[in-house]
């Protein structure tokens, strides 16, 4: 085998590896879905007013509107292609311990991507975090949303745009799955609204994730 042939084979194998890595990245990550999270102030057949941390956001409704909610599931449904939301609590050793895992459907892949602390119950000893992204293995409580990649043992690594969270998963962790539901939205509901910016600068949605009902 001459030198030119060896060089060709080396370049071919290298290119193949790069293309495989790129394909892996495309299947494991998801572009973030823009959205507004907060409590509904007003609901009509044409629009939603959401009270967000930055103020009240008006969102037009594009029909048909799909409302999503959670149903019970289990760890067997968390796979290497899943996009999940993981609520976790930071342990004394600095690791994250999953308290709940929510599996999102393909059409909501990328919703809420990132890792942020979330408001806990008054008097709670630890704070929770919401992390949305592509999961591998993910502690204060944290919500991690992402595409799942199972690692060894009982951990998940959740990948998102600017980082990862490694989360330990106990055998008794609560697992839910987000699915379309037949429930009307009402003022007071806590929601995550997937939005698209229109040509006139306004926001519109056809997908709303119902986090909790009126409280």
By the 8 A CB rule, do 61 and 48 touch?
Answer: yes
Rounded to two decimals, the pTM is: 0.76
Residue 35 pLDDT greater than 50, yes or no = yes
pLDDT > 50? residue 16: no
- Give the mean model confidence (pLDDT) for residues 75-86: 88
- Tell me what pLDDT residue 20 has: 41
The residues near 200 (Cβ < 8 Å, ≥ 6 apart) are: none
Q: What whole-number percentage of the chain has pLDDT above 70?
A: 73
Bridge partners (DSSP) listed for residue 30: none
Across 137-173, where does the E strand assignment appear? 142-147, 155-160, 163-168
Tell me, yes or no, whether 81 and 46 share the same domain.
no
Range of the domain at 63: 35-68+181-212
Q: How confident is the model at residue 106 (pLDDT cuts 50, 70, 90)?
A: very high
- Is the CA virtual torsion 161, 166, 171, 172 positive or negative? negative
Claim to verify: residue 109 and residue 208 sit in the same structural domain: no
- The answer to whether 147 and 132 are in contact (CB under 8 A) is no
Q: What is the pLDDT of residue 60?
A: 98
Per-residue pLDDT, 205: 98
User: For 90, what's the count of Cα atoms within 13 Å in the CB-facing half-sphere?
Assistant: 15
d(CA 156, CA 104): 16
The span from the CA of 129 to the CA of 117, in Å, is 4
Residue 91, C-beta contacts closer than 8 angstroms, at least 6 positions apart: 97, 139, 168
On whether residue 11 sits in a domain, the answer given is no
Q: Are residues 75 and 174 in the same domain?
A: yes
User: How many domains does the chain fold into?
Assistant: 2
Same-domain status, 84 and 110: yes
Question: Buried b vs exposed e over 143-177: b needs ≥16 C-beta within 10 Å?
Answer: bbbbbbbbeeeebbbbbbbeebbbbbbeeebebbb
Residue-wise pLDDT for 142-177, tens only, equals 666 766 665 545 788 888 888 888 898 998 899 999
- Examine residue 63 and state whether it is found in any structural domain, yes or no: yes
Token pair in block for residue 164? 């990862």
- Is 28 within a domain? no
pLDDT band at 178 (very low <50, low <70, confident <90, very high): very high
pLDDT band per the 50, 70, 90 thresholds, residue 15: very low
């Amino acid at each position: 085998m001459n030198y030119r042939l060896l060089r060709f084979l080396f370049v071919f194998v290298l290119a193949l590896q790069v293309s495989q890595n790129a394909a892996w990245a495309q299947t494991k990550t998801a572009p973030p879905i823009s959205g507004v999270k907060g409590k509904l102030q007003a609901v009509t057949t044409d629009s939603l007013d959401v009270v967000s941390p930055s103020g009240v956001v008006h969102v037009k409704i594009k029909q048909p509107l799909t409302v999503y909610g959670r149903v019970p599931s289990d760890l067997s449904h968390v796979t290497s292609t899943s996009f999940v939301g993981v609520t976790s609590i930071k342990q004394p050793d600095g690791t994250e311990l999953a308290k709940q895992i929510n599996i999102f459907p393909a059409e909501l892949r990328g919703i809420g991507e990132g890792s942020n602390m979330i408001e806990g119950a008054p008097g709670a000893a630890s704070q929770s975090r919401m992390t949305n992204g592509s999961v591998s293995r993910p502690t204060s409580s944290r919500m991690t949303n992402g595409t799942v990649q199972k690692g060894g043992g009982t951990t998940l690594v959740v990948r998102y745009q600017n980082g990862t969270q490694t989360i330990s998963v106990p055998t008794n962790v609560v697992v839910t799955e987000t699915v379309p539901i037949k429930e009307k939205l009402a003022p007071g509901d806590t929601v995550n609204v997937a939005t698209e910016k229109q040509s006139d600068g306004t926001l519109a949605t056809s997908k709303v994730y119902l986090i909790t009902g009126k409280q």
